A = this chain, B = another copy of it.
Amino acid sequence: MTGTADDPVAMLNAGLAQLIPVAAAMGVEFTELRPGSVRATVPFEGNGNHFGVIYAGVVFTVAEVLGGAIHFATFDASTHYPLVRGVQIEFVAPGRSRLTATASLSDEEVARIRAEAVPGAKVPFVLDAEVVGEDGTVVARTRGDYQLRPFRA
């Protein structure tokens, strides 16, 4: 582990190989973790398909991991864990470069989730993410249905 509690980005990146080995193998890295706002990136190299574009499952992954990341960055990871219930992904343009996925929750939504996430409670939330290439081209948009699940029901 190269990260510390003072550097949550380094800490989460160092742990990703244990948390989600498949995502780590793709080269997914978090680049921003702030309460209510997260960002991750994935390289082009190794992730292309036979058309020379980043494979759909990689685009899905760099966006989907933001659900766990925003939980880690925003909510109480000692009482709840995040579960993905469903994702809609729209592929807008081919990904031909490193991709960056960004997602955020409004202050009001963060406050709602925090208020509802009492011990034992399941709390649903929706996270929209946008995936862009190096030149800013939107490659994909996702809408994920997540749920905070209590460690002890």
Chain A interfacial residues counted at CB < 8 A = 30
Contact check, A51 vs B90: say whether CB atoms are below 8 A apart.
Answer: no
Give min CB distance, A120 to chain B, whole Å.
Answer: 19
Given contacts A64-B57, A85-B90, contact A22 B18 (CB under 8 A): no
Could you say which of B56, B81, B86, B91 contacts A88, with CB atoms under 8 Å apart?
B86
Quick check: is A152 within 8 A (CB to CB) of the other chain?
no
Given contacts A18-B50, A50-B18, A81-B51, contact A57 B88 (CB under 8 A): no
Contact check, A23 vs B64: say whether CB atoms are below 8 A apart.
Answer: no
Given contact pairs A87-B87, A87-B89, A88-B88, a sample of 18 additional A-B residue pairs in the complex whose CB atoms are under 8 Å apart: A19-B50, A20-B50, A20-B55, A21-B47, A22-B46, A22-B49, A23-B55, A23-B57, A25-B25, A56-B64, A56-B84, A56-B87, A57-B61, A60-B87, A85-B91, A86-B88, A87-B88, A88-B89
Chain A residues within 8 Å of B, Cβ to Cβ: 18-23, 25-26, 46-51, 55-58, 60-61, 64, 81, 84-91
